[in-house]
Amino acid sequence: MDVVISSLLSAISIYSVILVVRVLLTWFPQIDWYSQPFRFLQEITDPYLDLFRSLLPPIGGWDLSPMLAIFVLQLISGTLVTLSSPSF
């Protein structure tokens, strides 16, 4: 069971980094999101981000959905750590 939780925690960490990279790249308007590797980055992050974009529309032109998406990943990660720790 620890191997599964450890793998999930690693996957969440990697995906969180990918989300942060995606958000940072949106600050550069000259990036062509239809060319590789940016297209791949968009394809793996947008389905998850779209879940939160439907819940949290842009406020004043700012898309805050990545913050909520990363927060949820951190909550899941914290829950997995709690579940994997031995209870005394």
Give a yes or no: residue 56 inside a domain: yes
Query: What pLDDT score does 86 carry?
Result: 77
Query: What pLDDT score does 2 carry?
Result: 83
Query: What pLDDT score does 83 carry?
Result: 85
Q: Which residues constitute the domain of residue 61?
A: 2-83
The partner residues of 59 in beta bridges, in order of sequence, read 62
Handedness of CA 9, 20, 48, 71 (dihedral sign): positive
- Tally of structural domains, the chain: 1
Give a yes or no: residue 88 inside a domain: no
Query: What pLDDT score does 14 carry?
Result: 96
Query: What pLDDT score does 61 carry?
Result: 85
Whole-model pTM: value is: 0.86
How many angstroms separate the CA atoms of 69 and 78, rounded? 14
Q: Within the chain, which residues score under 50 in pLDDT?
A: none
How many angstroms separate the CA atoms of 20 and 12, rounded? 12
